[in-house]
Amino acid sequence: MKNLTALGVHPALRGFPGMVLELRRDGVVVESNGRLERELERGVVGHPLGSVLDGPSRRKLDAILARQPRPEATDGFVPAQAWELMLEGRDTVAPHSFFPVWDEEGDHLYLVESPRDPRFDALYEELAAVNSEQANTQRQLAKEKSRLARALGELERELKENERLSRTLQGQNEEMEAQNEELLAMTEELHAGQEQLLSSNHQLERRTRELQIALSARNRFYAAMSHELRTPINAVMGYNDLLLAEVYGTLSEQQELAVERSQRAARHLRELVNDVLDISRLESGRAEVEPEPVDVARLVDEIFDTLRPLAAHAGSDMRRLSGDDVGTVVTDPLRLRQILLNLLSNALKYGAGAPVWVHLAWAGTGRLVVEVTDGGPGIAEEDLGRIFDEFVQLGREENTETAGREGTGLGLSIARRLATALGGTLEAASTLGVGSTFRLTLPASPSRAE
């Protein structure tokens, strides 16, 4: 068969009484003589032939398309065997036998329907008639079944409506009973809640008393231990001073270095003991405040003189921003000195050698503001809230450059408590990479403390 694809359906097959289909290798129908469309009442050109076949027939078609065409079988209509395929129409399924014929190039396949025995057609028509009769019978049965189902459904709806009315009446009665029971339960729950509240209050009072007793015992323990520790510490420091003064003979450089280290450790321990004692006194409310007129500018200058060795060691200096006419405030000079000493020593230790500024000014409400500012690395915003907690040292926790510096982690906590005892406040502000400012606000006199 020559040039079949160029001509569409071969001219010799156009008038063929049976079905003729031209397929590509992928199973899509390229051309048809129209008989298949008339039987199925649907178009097939441009669609896979498998879309109108049942499952086994689709597998047969795949097997036909998968075979390699034999050259000797492509020259003319010389099929090897007929293949029976089940074609599915809208309401029917009919078997048909086809001979596969390949074109010369082997790219297109022609399915040519084989002639059928007239007896087969008669049998097929008889089966179709039987099927049609059975279908009519089934439709009649379906209609009758539907009618009975509707009647049963109507009866069931009436029964359900009666049951619903009965349940509604019963539910209303039960709801009224439940409401009465709920009111009784709420009343009992209210009484139980009142009793529980009273019990919780009693427990809270008892635990508060226990906590007060425990805190009092702890403060007494701190105070006793602090007093007991001071004596041996002072003895150690005294003997260290005698050794450094070479009262017991000349020390070598290594011995002098060891004694100095011992003296620094003893001094640090004494500072810790003093801080613990201060904390104990402040928590127990036994911190004594003796107010008197204090020249704040002069007090700041005296503290500068005290801390000049520490400033020289840190490579920094201290500067006061105020006039000499700042005046006085009525407060406890020892407590104020303790606060400023702590703030200034911290600024020198952690100020990275930058100058430390102390600014004195009066606020409009008759309160003195003392600001201590350093040029150190600053404090992160999330840490500002905890620097006043006990035993917190950000330098040791996070900065390896300041990890070796002395401190107890109690100084800022004591300073804030002392500021409160003096009727004032102590706050901190900081910017990373710029520095920190600690702001102490004091009333002009105890009578003006808020």
- Amino acid (one-letter) located at 184: L
| Residue 396 forms part of a structural domain | yes
Please tell me the pTM assigned to this model.
0.46
| Residue 101 forms part of a structural domain | yes
For residues 239-258, average pLDDT: 84
* Number of domain units in the chain: 2
| Residue 213 forms part of a structural domain | no
For residues 219-239, average pLDDT: 72
Q: Which residue, of 116, 139, 160, is where some domain finishes? A: 116
| Amino acid 9: pLDDT | 53
| Residue 378 forms part of a structural domain | yes
For residues 108-127, average pLDDT: 68
| Amino acid 77: pLDDT | 42
Q: And the tokens for 259?
A: 């004694």
| Residue 127 forms part of a structural domain | no
How far, in Å, CA of 164 to CA of 88, rounded? 51
Domain boundaries, position 69: 4-116
Buried b (16+ CB within 10 A) or exposed e, 392-423: ebbbeeeeeebeeeebbbbbbbbbbbbbebbb
Q: Are 95 and 56 in contact (CB under 8 A)?
A: no
pLDDT digits (tens, 9 = 90+) for 166-209: 888 888 888 888 888 888 889 888 888 888 888 888 888 888 88
How far, in Å, CA of 279 to CA of 227, rounded? 14
Q: CATH number, domain at 338? A: 3.30.565.10
Q: And the tokens for 320?
A: 């006061």
| Residue 235 forms part of a structural domain | no
Longest Cα–Cα distance in the chain: 142
| Amino acid 74: pLDDT | 44
Q: Which residue, of 60, 87, 116, is where some domain finishes? A: 116
Q: CATH number, domain at 27? A: 3.30.450.20
Q: Which residue, of 52, 84, 116, is where some domain finishes? A: 116
Confidence of residue 68 (pLDDT cuts 50, 70, 90): low
- Residue 12 above 60 pLDDT? no
| Residue 386 forms part of a structural domain | yes
pLDDT digits (tens, 9 = 90+) for 352-410: 888 999 999 988 777 899 999 998 888 888 888 788 887 777 654 444 444 444 556 77
CA distances from 64 to 101, 109, 115, 208 (A): 10, 9, 20, 95
How far, in Å, CA of 162 to CA of 299, rounded? 98
How far, in Å, CA of 430 to CA of 389, rounded? 17
| Residue 244 forms part of a structural domain | no
